[in-house]
Structure 1
Amino acid sequence: MQKITFALIGALLLLTSCSQNKLKLVKNGESDYVITYTKEDHESAKVLQNYLEKISGVELELTEGNLDSATPKIVLGLLEDSSPSENIQIKTQDGNLHILGGSHQAVQNAVYEFLERYFNCKWYAPGVEAIPLKKSITLNEMDYSYIPEISTRTVHSRLFYQNHDFADQQKVTYEAFPTYVPSARVHTFHKFMPEEVFYEDHPEYYALRGDKRLPTQLCLTNPDVLEIVKDSVAALFERHPEAAVLSVSQDDNQQYCQCPLCSRIDEEEGSPAGTMVRFVNNVAKAFPDKTISTLAYQHTRKPPKTAPDPNVLITLCSIECDRSAPIADKCEDFAQDLIGWGKLTDNIRIWDYTTQFTNFLAPFPNIHTIQPNIHLFRDNNAKWVFEQHSNNPSELFELRSYVTAKLLWNPDLDFNDLLLEFTNGYYQEAGPFIKNYVDQIHQELANDQDFFLFLYGDPSEAFDSYLKPDLLAQYANLFDAAEEAVAEKPAILNRVKMARLGIDYAMLEASRKNITDQLSLTIADADGIESINPDVAMLLDNFSNTAKNNDITLMNEMGFTVNEYGANFLSALEMAKRPNKARDSEVTTLTKPKKYANEDPMVLTDGALGGSSFYANWLGYEGNDMEVVVDLGKTESINTISMAFLQVTNHVVFFPSEVTYFGSVDNKTFTEIGTINSPKPLTKSSKVNDIQYFDLEFDPASYRYVKVVARNTETPYWHHAAGLPSWVFADEIIID
């Protein structure tokens, strides 16, 4: 009996001890606790007060400074001076709760971490949150600390840039280049030494390419160039004394200097990064209290032998990589370059890419690669990671922004749980269908081991892969079910419609190529008369309306707008139903096409119409004119000829300078029918992404053969690809 009594007493003592270690922040709608803070943490204290009130209905008092020890309190403040600035700590002690950080920014991060970790608060998108409701709040004893291994976390998304509260909740930066001089963030050579100012009098300041100096890049061994750049950097820092970082970096091309001195240094260094690092080190020496950033990008990605100076920040870019699998698996060269730079410096900023820049709204199944890529960066000591999303809305925009931010803060989260957390929280009852879509499209891509998922690709590349017609139908069915699940919730339904934009866009582009009877621009009646496919017209209408209702304005990084896409597609529908005597006619090319559309001239008469990307059904000619002959099969009376051409100026695709149409009855003697000069000659201000029809009307004449000659526009000296051949891209020829 005595043993039992002692046992009971021991148990009671243990329970009492455990109870004493618990904090009863709120009990039955009341609290004795106050929130104390230092002046610099006032906003963080208000955030904590606000959310504790949302949870419990109780507003805790805010008090700046210390209180007497008898008052129970939540203490916000700094850790000891030796603590890393990113360190956060959440602990109970002597009946109080301490939320601490190694800096005031870390204190803010600790507040949000506390709310999420211990209350399961969720912030899915700006203004979209899930907050639990509790009349009583009891906290067990805790002692949690965390130092994020990636200290500067940026997701290139306007959801964060335009909504700083949401950025705070997800612990990412408000801008793409924090602490940088605003006008000198990347690709700065042309800003320091514009060709309009220096090139005519001093061509030696610029890159030697072959036997000619071109203003594509700077000559980094010219001492005058170094002094001019240093003067420019000094002026910018003087204008922006608050800035800590400035970029001295190559322009966005690979036309670097190959003069004898530059080439000798690059050969010694084993990489064109050799001249760059030596040059930037010399600039950095003049500004020891600032950081000079430069790029390890394209031709400078491979590390040289010379180490960057301590105040040089290397921005290593993964632009070339196949996004169908983790970088470590399908972009081993980049992984090796990362390791190589890590041996030279611990001052590395990663510039990674997570969207398809030629088609923001296209399905781009790379979400499963985000975590292993962040692991790669983290494991190689990259403390600053910039994930270049589209900034503007793109496919699954909210999901991508959320998942990427979460993984930058904690790369070791369970990815599937994270995906479930978002899809169920943001899309609610529709969540399981969207999760199934995400999983399925990624699995379909994984099944196609040979597919290269490129940042500058096009959905048309995937119509025999993860966007096959039967798969598009399956994906559409999932979104139909998702919409039905939230049909009575307009706000959630709108989120589902935005998530659906990718599949709608893919189906529109599939229809442009007429890949099935259902996915085609036109349908024929019993008499063979073509009319617009009503399903495609409805699809375009839904796509355009969803975009308009949600301020989604851009299709790609070249500035091609959703409105322009809609107008272009309507034009394509009208073109597709026009009578065309050239449809399915034999086409012979007299000059050699290259790479695109399988180099098959028959794409010019197949009824499929090219889109805004050069992958989408365009026949390309690099550095030469396009000359083709269309055989109508018999002599026909014709009076109109029309042909479409593409322009994507940043990819050296220009409208032809002129297009001439010829006619013949015997394929030997051709008569010139007419010439159309480009209505939009190339200038520095030319529209980056555009489609132009070269239309010719003439008095009726009879021909069997029609020749088209499209004159290539030479790459001008001021273009970033000066010295390289340009492209002519053409599509459907319509003759009537």
Structure 2
Amino acid sequence: MLPLGNRLRKHIKFNLIVPMKKVVLTLLITIGLLVNSCNKSNITLTENGKTNYEIVLKKNASESLYKSSVKLQYYLSKISGAQFPIVDELSLDARKKKIYVGNHKTENLKPQQVIIRTENENLYISGGSDQAVKNGIYEFLEKYLACKWYAPGVEKIPPSRTISVSPIDYDYTPEIHTRTVHSKLFYENHEFADQQKVTYEAFPYYVPTAKVHTFHRFMPEEVFYKDHPEYYALRGEQRLPTQLCLTNDKVLAIVKDSVASFFSKNPEASVISVSQDDNQQYCKCDNCSKVDTSEGSPSGTMIRFVNQVAESFPNKTISTLAYQYTRKAPKTHPATNVLITLCSIECDRSAPISEKCTDFADDLIAWGKLTNNIRIWDYTTQFTNFLSPFPNIYTLQPNIQLFRNNNAKWVFEQHSHNPSELFELRSYITAKLLWNPDLDFDELLTEFTDGYYEQAGPYIKKYVELIHAEIKKDDDFFLFLYGDPSEAFSSYLNPELLKEYSNLFDEAEKAVANKQELLDRVKMARLGVDYAVLEASRKNITKDYSLMVMAKNPKEVINPMVASLLDNFIHTARKNDISLMNEMGFTVNEYASNYMSALKIAQKPNKAKGKNVVALTKPKKYAEENPMVLTDGALGGSSFYANWLGYEGNNMEVVIDLGEPQPISTVSMAFLQVTNHVVFFPSSVTYYGSSDNTDFKPLGTLSNTAPLNKDSKVNDISYFDLSFEQENVRYIKVVAENTKTPYWHHAAGLPSWVFADEIIIN
């Protein structure tokens, strides 16, 4: 190579006519270009498994920075086999080149800012905070060395004895500062959370026992309600402990005192939630109503109240909810230390919020005009059926972009926490989009499906694409967080599509049949489709998808496909430590037991099957309000959407016509309980018999053996079975007494539901 002077002369042609100023300027530009060109050459960190680099920390580097450096050292060695020493500035080896970790150039960086640069054959990984530096290390490993972390313990680290990188000038500040994906994959595996740059917990910085829905924690009804009902919400003419009366000065004083106590017990916490309980029964006393009317929203009393609390704690953050009845913004600005947590619980998840939930988008914009301190609480799963197919994956990116575009710096994506449909895929994609909402989504999806499922990846990606294309065709479908797969059996889960989805997973399993670890991942991924098929069969939607099939005898027998599928479903769930079916605590074991009970019931002779049913009291909304659901042979599941006949605020009274007088001695009917949705077991069930549909004789009364209390099981099914001396009857009347909503329930003052399903008569 020519010496620098000769190279300059080679590039410069002097002309005596050219003014000297221009010659000097040309010379300077050329030197600058050549020096810059030298700086932009590749740097070789390792060659043939050896390195001439050391990792450099400042002499006063924190323990966190040291641990991040160790991670960098570990992965560089894993890739190349080379050993990179970690030194501080006082122990530099002048012969070695440097990888500087931390802010060595004293640049004034933002706390979230990450800078990765190559300069003079050295590498700089800088950040405005220790966390930003850690993010920068994982960005470098992933972006420039092709490392991937798909799930805890599942990584792809491409081996290369020689590591050479092109010139780097990377400067990135994530616009969403606090990124949380509600998934135990991150909460229980902090290294994986670091790799995906999300938080270790759902509520970082919060007082652990005061994260959300805290009114009842600050003022428990057991302590205050009896002597001071005026502290609580006026509903109609009665004070109920559903919410607090926010214009009562004594309530404010007690809450301030409680907040002070919580902070005193948790001095490390910087945030506490002062927020409504999880119901819509807010106070409508004259004072509260006057404030809410003047503010244009029930959030008016909330913000005025929370602002007064925040005034007493200027060095702390007081978080509150903009949720359901408080979601619409008021006129009053939140105080600077008030954090607004805006929740999208009502939204249709079949399309982006900006398309199908414009009211929420409008509320987001309105709050954005009042404050820059907004935390988004978004929802990404079906809480009533964690394992059900829930085609909302393509809405994740536009929704996160909407939040980002409206200045939300803190986003909490409430996934299932526990394993759910495509759990690893959803956790990975959501985390990636929170870090960079503008990634190419198709590339991101392919990156995960090919990386995590390998040869089975294309089939699983095709399933994801297909089910999302199908729901897009059904513009009227409302994909609800508290829905049920049974709602989709005429839409994206119709029988033909269920077969196509199952076939795709069959092909996926074949593709990795000889790789047990990958096969296990595929079986985990297909749980959603298998669950949908099981529920379709429970509802007997077709001859193939039914609990019973006709044998050659001819005789009805259990559908062998259902028996095999149930066995595989339970085995896969248990192998993967999946214990919960929904947020109400309904377990996989309970689901299995319930389903096997359904199979036993389906095998029973039933004189009521297919017989006419007349409703004497009016059902509401569910099962198309058709009382024939009680004798159709389809059996209800754990959700009230699934084949249950519902009665709101009234007793259930129905009559079954057996067609002719018959001897009977047993009657049984199933009832559902979902306490958080105000669905309770009946207080009693009475069965009557008649031969003429006029004079009914009591056959017996059954009381609820587990009366409702605060510790009642949230999600359950109970069979009210009656045996009696044989009677010859044609008509059976069933009267199920509604259980009134107790004063202590979050829905106090509202009517409760009775849900019933199949009646078995023999």
TM-score normalized with structure 2 length: 0.94
Distance 2:80 2:93 in 1: 25
Distance 1:15 1:305 in 2: 60
Question: Deviation at 1:70?
Answer: 5.3
Distance 1:219 1:676 in 2: 41
Identify which of 347, 369, 374 aligns with 1:348. Answer: 374
Q: Which residue number corresponds to residue 177 of structure 2?
A: 151
Q: Which residue number corresponds to residue 97 of structure 2?
A: 72
Q: Which residue number corresponds to residue 698 of structure 2?
A: 672
For 1:184-204, what per-residue CA distance to the aligned partner results, in whole angstroms no more than 9, with x for missing partners? 000000000000000000000
Q: Which residue number corresponds to residue 67 of structure 2?
A: 43
Q: Which residue number corresponds to residue 649 of structure 2?
A: 623
Matches within 5 A, 1:180-259: 180-259=206-285
Q: Report SS of the residue matched to 2:537.
A: helix
Q: Which has the larger radius of gyration?
A: 2
Q: Which residue number corresponds to residue 3 of structure 2?
A: none
Q: Report SS of the residue matched to 1:650.
A: helix
Q: Which amino acid aligns with 2:98?
A: K
For 1:163-201, what per-residue CA distance to the aligned partner results, in whole angstroms no more than 9, with x for missing partners? 000000000000000000000000000000000000000
Q: Which residue number corresponds to residue 389 of structure 1?
A: 415
Q: Which residue number corresponds to residue 711 of structure 1?
A: 737
Q: Which amino acid aligns with 2:592?
A: G
Please, which moves more after superposition, 310-319 or 76-85? 76-85
Q: Which residue number corresponds to residue 22 of structure 1?
A: 42
Distance 1:553 1:24 in 2: 49
Q: Which residue number corresponds to residue 25 of structure 2?
A: none
Distance 2:420 2:729 in 1: 48
Q: Which residue number corresponds to residue 463 of structure 1?
A: 489
Q: Which residue number corresponds to residue 164 of structure 2?
A: 138
For 1:439-471, what per-residue CA distance to the aligned partner results, in whole angstroms no more than 9, with x for missing partners? 000000000000000000000000000000000
Question: Deviation at 1:17?
Answer: 7.7
Q: Report SS of the residue matched to 1:386.
A: strand
Q: Which residue number corresponds to residue 565 of structure 2?
A: 539
Q: Which residue number corresponds to residue 616 of structure 2?
A: 590
Contact 1:27 / 1:136 at 8 angstroms: preserved in 2? yes
Question: Deviation at 1:394?
Answer: 0.2
Structure 1: 5+ residue stretches without partners: none
Question: Deviation at 1:80?
Answer: 3.7
Distance 1:9 1:606 in 2: 93
Identify which of 121, 139, 145 aligns with 1:113. Answer: 139
Distance 1:17 1:77 in 2: 24
Question: Deviation at 1:137?
Answer: 1.4
Matches within 5 A, 1:649-660: 649-660=675-686
Distance 1:566 1:15 in 2: 72
- Change beyond 3 A, Cα 1:673–1:397: same
Q: Which residue number corresponds to residue 511 of structure 1?
A: 537
Identify which of 440, 446, 450 aligns with 1:424. Answer: 450
| 2:306 is equivalent to residue 280 of structure 1 | yes
Question: Deviation at 1:54?
Answer: 0.8
Matches within 5 A, 1:267-416: 267-416=293-442
For 1:505-541, what per-residue CA distance to the aligned partner results, in whole angstroms no more than 9, with x for missing partners? 0000000000111110112335653321111011000
Q: Which amino acid aligns with 1:64?
A: D
Contact 1:582 / 1:605 at 8 angstroms: preserved in 2? yes
Q: Which residue number corresponds to residue 19 of structure 2?
A: none
Q: Report SS of the residue matched to 1:411.
A: coil
Please, which moves more after superposition, 122-131 or 75-84? 75-84
Distance 2:8 2:301 in 1: 78
Q: Report SS of the residue matched to 2:102.
A: strand
Distance 2:232 2:746 in 1: 12
- Change beyond 3 A, Cα 1:272–1:17: closer
Contact 1:80 / 1:102 at 8 angstroms: preserved in 2? no
Distance 2:422 2:68 in 1: 31
Q: Which amino acid aligns with 2:684?
A: E
Q: Which residue number corresponds to residue 578 of structure 1?
A: 604
Distance 1:619 1:544 in 2: 28
Identify which of 57, 81, 86 aligns with 2:81. Answer: 57
Q: Which residue number corresponds to residue 555 of structure 2?
A: 529
Q: Which amino acid aligns with 1:389?
A: H
Question: Deviation at 1:19?
Answer: 6.2
Please, which moves more after superposition, 523-532 or 302-311? 523-532
Question: Deviation at 1:579?
Answer: 0.2
Distance 1:593 1:349 in 2: 40
Q: Which amino acid aligns with 2:340?
A: I
Q: Report SS of the residue matched to 2:450.
A: helix
Distance 2:168 2:211 in 1: 43
Between Structure 1 and Structure 2, how many residues are aligned?
Answer: 732
Q: Which residue number corresponds to residue 87 of structure 1?
A: 113
Q: Which residue number corresponds to residue 625 of structure 2?
A: 599
Contact 1:587 / 1:631 at 8 angstroms: preserved in 2? yes
- Change beyond 3 A, Cα 1:600–1:52: same
Distance 1:724 1:508 in 2: 34
Identify which of 186, 198, 211 aligns with 1:160. Answer: 186
For 1:566-606, what per-residue CA distance to the aligned partner results, in whole angstroms no more than 9, with x for missing partners? 00000000001100000010000000100000000000000
Question: Deviation at 1:413?
Answer: 0.2
Q: Which amino acid aligns with 1:331?
A: C
Q: Which residue number corresponds to residue 32 of structure 1?
A: 52
Distance 1:153 1:518 in 2: 45
Contact 1:99 / 1:111 at 8 angstroms: preserved in 2? yes
For 1:91-150, what per-residue CA distance to the aligned partner results, in whole angstroms no more than 9, with x for missing partners? 012221100000000000000000011011000000100011111112222211100000
Distance 1:69 1:628 in 2: 91
Matches within 5 A, 1:634-713: 634-713=660-739
Q: Which amino acid aligns with 2:368?
A: G
Q: Report SS of the residue matched to 2:679.
A: coil
Q: Which amino acid aligns with 2:218?
A: F
Question: Deviation at 1:27?
Answer: 1.2
Distance 2:674 2:728 in 1: 36
Distance 2:557 2:367 in 1: 59
Distance 2:124 2:755 in 1: 64
Distance 2:694 2:620 in 1: 26
Q: Which residue number corresponds to residue 130 of structure 2?
A: 104
Q: Which residue number corresponds to residue 18 of structure 2?
A: none
Question: Deviation at 1:69?
Answer: 5.8
Distance 1:168 1:260 in 2: 51
Please, which moves more after superposition, 696-705 or 327-336? 696-705
Question: Deviation at 1:8?
Answer: 12
Q: Report SS of the residue matched to 2:647.
A: strand
Contact 1:712 / 1:728 at 8 angstroms: preserved in 2? yes
Distance 2:302 2:106 in 1: 41
